[in-house]
Each structure stands twice: as C-alpha cells, then as structure tokens.
Amino acid sequence: MLLPSDAGCRDTGGQQQQQQQQVQQGQQQQVHVEVKSTFWHNKRQFHVSRKEWQFAGNPAFCKNFSVARLFGSFEAPSPCDVYMVLLRDPVRLVRDGALLLEEHYGRTGGYTLTM
C-alpha cells in the first residue's frame, strides 16, 4: 500500500497560526476538491487514480485537498434525496484508519478507498 510521505502534512500550532494570519491579511488559499459521485446511497467504495493519490499526498496541497463524495446523484427523485460527505485530507484519514486504501494492479491501476 502506497502512502505519500507525511512531510508537511501534520497540523502544528505554528502552521495554524500562519494560516490564520494569511486569512486575516486577505490572502487566499488554493483549495482542491475532487468530486466522486455514485448512483447508490449505500456505496462506500470509490476509485482514485494514482495521479489523484499522489496529488493528495503532495505536502504543498495535502491540507487543502478534499474528496467530496456525492451519494444518490442519479436515482434521487428530488434534490432532498442527494447527500454529500466531505473527506478533508484523505491521506491523513487513511493513516488514522478512518478510510481503507486498497491498491489495484494491472492496466488501470489506482486505488479503492472505502469509507
């Protein structure tokens, strides 16, 4: 199982203070959200490519990378039947055991994340 290096991906008080100062000074932070949708409300697995996973583990982006998991996106008779879960810093969530990461071999490669 390949986990990107956690260099630069841990919250420290100094980093939080620096981020707060940047926000207070009006500096914008770049945020990346990868959207993964499914027809079904109970499907807990989704695929991420190798490039997506490498990007998620990049120390320059890991704190600002999230996966938005959209459930019931096509079977819902009304917008009220669609819901979303936002997974912030998925590499950290895998390390903490909140997500399960399985590597795929072969032509397509990539990974399956299970919530």
Residue 22: what are its φ and ψ, rounded to 5°?
-65, -45
User: 42 or 87: which carries more pLDDT confidence?
Assistant: 87
Domain membership of residue 34 (yes or no) is yes
Structural domain containing residue 54: 30-114
Tokens of 88: 């912030």
Tokens of 29: 């932070």
67-91: average pLDDT: 80
| pLDDT beyond 70 at 109 | yes
- Residue 64 neighbours by CB under 8 Å, 6+ apart: 29, 30, 31, 32
In this prediction, residue 24 carries a pLDDT of 52
Examine residue 8 and state whether it is found in any structural domain, yes or no.
no
Helix residue ranges per DSSP H, the chain: 13-24, 50-56, 90-95
48 inside domain: yes
**Reported pTM:** 0.67
Domain count, the chain: 1
Record the tokens describing residue 86, joined without a space.
């936002």
Q: Would you call 80 helix, strand, or coil by DSSP? A: helix
Is there a domain that residue 25 lies in? Answer: no
In a domain, 21, yes or no: no
Asked whether residue 35 is assigned to any structural domain, the reply reads yes
- Residue 85 domain-assigned? yes
7 domain residue, yes or no? no
